[in-house]
Amino acid sequence: MKLKYPAEFLFFVPLLIVFNFTPAANTTAYYLFPSALFEGEFTRWFTFVWKHNSLYHLILDASAFLFLYESLRCRFAGRLLHLFSCICFSGLIPILVDPRLNQIGLCGLSGVAHGLMLIWAFETAEKTDRRTQLAASILFLGVLGKTIFEQVTGQVLFAEHHIGNVGVPIASCHFGGLVGAILSYSVLHAARTLPLSSFILRPLPAQLHHANFETASSASGHLDLQRHLRCRHARAH
């Protein structure tokens, strides 16, 4: 399978390897704790999503994350905004609402994956095909309903059916990923209405087509003006 974003893929995979297969003096050194917000341990915001509790946890989260990231259709700046927003809110919401993080911390990409799934549904719903829009709407409602249910009950669905160690599932992490996705998508959607941003965010082929159309229109108008002047000159003689 040909990768859509090979440079980013080659950035993510080494991070997953480094944070999961290199020994650390403290097993929770890369986890997210409330101290990351209240005591200035800012590096934890970068490390916690790449760290996982087990090989099973890593394969589960990383495969979903990489697949969903490759499925995004926005440009690099948009993908970066989505990723940054999903990471931040998948950590921030649990810190604010789940006191267990003081003892166990948080790690993993599941919250980010939930957010990217929602972004994928939003982008897919923009297509004109009715069946595709219906499938995207069903996915959106399914992810949203699952996450809200988990947040209200405090229980992550299917957590008891895992065949490997995933640590203690934190429902608010999934909810935070959705909050981040909704905010980042809303920002990009609003930015498309701005004149400069609409040109920057427009796909390159569309930009070239627009530029060629304007050039062709300008040339056509110039030729029409020349013909008009020649006709007037001929009538004058």
Amino acid at site 128:
T
The yes-or-no verdict on residue 235 having pLDDT over 70 is no
Query: Both tokens of residue 210?
Result: 């627009």
| Residue 65 buriedness (CB in 10 A; 0-12 / 13-18 / 19+) | buried
Query: Both tokens of residue 3?
Result: 């990768």
Residue 159 pLDDT level (bands cut at 50, 70, 90): confident
Q: Phi, psi at residue 106, to the nearest 5°?
A: -145, 140
For residue 80, give the 3-state DSSP assignment.
helix
What is the rounded end-to-end Cα distance, in angstroms, of the chain? 70
pLDDT in tens, 190-222: 887 765 444 444 554 444 444 444 444 444 545
Mean pLDDT rounded to a whole number for the chain:
84
Residue 199 CB-half CA count within 13 A: 6
pLDDT in tens, 166-198: 888 899 999 999 999 999 999 998 887 765 444
Kindly state the helix (H) or strand (E) to which residue 64 belongs, with its residue range: helix 55-71
Distance of CA 34 to the CA centre of its chain: 24
